[in-house]
A and B are shown apart, each in its own frame.
Chain A
Amino acid sequence: MKKILFLLLAGTLFTGCASTRRGPESGAAVGGTKGSATAADGKAIVSKDDDLNEYAASTIADPLEPVNRATFWFNHQLYTFLLRPVSKTYETIIPKPLRKGIYNVFDNAEFPVRFVNDLLQGKVDRAGQETGKFAVNSVLGVGGLFKQSDKFPALAHVPKGSTGQTFAKWGIDHGCYIVLPVIGPSSVRDTVGLAGDYVLNPILWIGMAWGIPAWTIPVSAADTLCVLPEKFEQYDAATKTSLDRYLSLRSSYAQYRKEAAKK
């Protein structure tokens, strides 16, 4: 009984604090405790500075920054003068539904990448969902052309597994930040992960199986082409209103990967 009383007391004290902090009517009290100048003039700009470290400045180590910046500059020129025009042309020539279809075919064919990584991460349910998606899209979606699986709530919005994500789950650290030529932001972990994804990609196997490894070149090119518009959208989102393109993209990359590893 005493224990309950104590808890109750502690509870009221705590919530008492909390509600003074929350209550809009006690705004002055809050201001007082924080030493803020939130007064009648409404210019509360000044002295509230207890939350300045709310966000960490950087979430990924970048000892190679000078080299990375050089590669980044090279990539930016490559994008601006070659890849972006290619992407724009692709967007103009191929109508959106067909582009989506081509994208879907590749996405569907890359099922083993996600399936194997889900299993390696112990996500058996998700591997099952991926199998379901693959079956539905291959059969009902005519070889993956139409993404029919989104019509089934159980198969919609399945986070994509990748080898880099598997490494993250296994507790392997990012390592430092690397800007890869052409591809762009990566880390030591994700660069190795890319190799893993590549090996798991059936596009590679088929070329090998048919004894024509060169087959992979045009197909990989098509695979890359169909994701270009989306990639540029992401690139622009991170760089267009930035103060330092390089740092903005690095921060976006680090945060995005951190979030993906949680899924």
Chain B
Amino acid sequence: MKTRLIALALAAVLAGTLHASTADAEARLRTAVNEVLVAAQRSTTSRELPDRIGPILLRNISFETMTRRAVGPGWRGFTDDQKRQAIKLFGSLIVRTYCDKITPGEFPDIKFKPAATPAPGRVEVPTRLTYQGSTYAVTYRLEEDDGWKITDVMIEGVSMVANYRTQFDAIFKKNGPGGILGALEKQETKKR
């Protein structure tokens, strides 16, 4: 009987900590999303979006994790310098991709749904974004590594990282790390 009680008590504690960490991740996401919305609302042109939103994303997204996974096993063939370069360029691409989906001055309605915990240290928060009469399912994946960070965004089931993974894979097979950096640089110059 005693052990049962202990088991129950332990389970309760465990559920508490699990819940707390999921709540941390959710809180982190809510704050980040709110900051982005406020920044978007204060902006008047799309041009200033990356400057306003970039720093917020930098604090909340793990660009390193996203870059590593988007490149895949080929990452091992990158030198440290190439890795740094890739993270910088891909990070900037993520910021632009993200800003591209935002209209300055607009305020979309975002509803947070209950989070899922697919694995320890990993939380997925589904949201429903309503914008100009259309509704999109946007799911954020957060992972804990020195605080909670966003590691992927899935819009209508389409993962940002998986999408770039397909593209990077083909480029890597043809031209290795240099090819990936070259393609990212080309994208970067295209923006202006």
Residues of chain A having any CB pair with chain B under 8 Å = 1, 4-5, 7-8, 11-12, 15, 18-19, 21-22, 24, 27, 30, 38, 44-46, 48-49, 51-59, 100, 157, 230, 237-238, 240-244, 247-248, 250-252, 255-256, 258-260, 262
Contacts and interface: CB of A to CB of B under 8 A. Distances in A.
Contact of B165 (A55, A238, A259): A55
B158 A24 contact: no
Given A24-B147, A243-B187, A56 B6 contact: no
B162 A251 contact: yes
B93 A241 contact: yes
Given A8-B10, A244-B167, A255-B162, A27 B157 contact: no
Nearest to B73: A52
Contact of A56 (B93, B155, B165): B165
17 contacts: A11-B10, A22-B144, A24-B146, A46-B83, A49-B75, A51-B68, A55-B69, A55-B72, A55-B159, A59-B162, A241-B187, A243-B164, A244-B167, A244-B183, A248-B167, A252-B158, A255-B163
Contact of B73 (A11, A22, A53, A58): A53
Contacts of B4: 4
Interface-central residue, B10, B96, B165, by most chain A CB under 10 Å? B165
B170 interface: yes
Contacts, number: 133
A52 B168 CA distance: 13
Interface of B: 3-4, 6-7, 10-11, 14, 17, 21, 64-65, 68-73, 75-76, 80, 83-84, 87, 93, 96-97, 100-101, 120-121, 128, 133-135, 144-147, 155-159, 161-171, 183-184, 186-187
Contact of A30 (B14, B93, B145, B163): B145
Task: Select the residue from B7, B83, B93 with max chain A CB neighbours within 10 A.
Answer: B7
Given A4-B7, A251-B166, A251-B167, A53 B158 contact: no
Nearest to A245: B167
Contacts of A27: 145-146
Given A22-B120, A240-B100, A251-B166, A46 B14 contact: no
B72 A57 contact: yes
Contacts of B76: 49, 52
A8 B166 CA distance: 43
A259 B134 CA distance: 18
A260 B3 CA distance: 46
B156 A241 contact: no
A256 B157 contact: yes
B166 A248 contact: yes
A255 B157 contact: yes
A205 to B, nearest CB: 29
Given A4-B3, A252-B163, A52 B146 contact: no
